[in-house]
Every structure is written in C-alpha cells, then in structure tokens.
Amino acid sequence: MKDGYALRDDTLQHPRCVWNLLKAHVSRYTPEVVEKYLRHPEGRFPEGM
C-alpha cells in the first residue's frame, strides 16, 4: 500500500493483480463443468464464455 491506497497494475501483467487472479479462478469452469452443475447443454454456450 502506498499512501493508504492499494498498488495498481494498469498493465495487468503482475501475476497477483486482481484481473489475473479472477482469470485463474474462473478458468476451471469448462463447458463440461458448467453442464454438470447447471444441467445446461454444453453446445448452448458461446465459445468465448
């Protein structure tokens, strides 16, 4: 922390920046996992999700 504020990584390159932590967290949710837990057909999800 600097001056009471959290440090920022505007480049999003640091492995522990919030964006990279979020990407790592949601990467485990493959279409197969989503289908299993939500009982939603795999083919109905857009590829980029």
Q: What does the pLDDT look like over 14-44, one tens digit per residue?
A: 999 999 999 999 999 888 888 888 876 766 6
Radius of gyration, alpha carbons of the chain: 16
CA distance 9 to 40: 37
Q: Give the C-alpha distances (Å, rounded to integers) separating 41 from 10, 26, 37.
A: 37, 19, 11
Q: So what's the pLDDT on residue 23?
A: 96
What single DSSP character describes residue 27? Answer: T
Q: So what's the pLDDT on residue 44?
A: 67
Q: So what's the pLDDT on residue 24?
A: 96
Helix residue spans in the chain (DSSP H): 18-26, 31-38
Q: Phi first, then psi: what are they for 20, rounded to 5°?
A: -70, -35
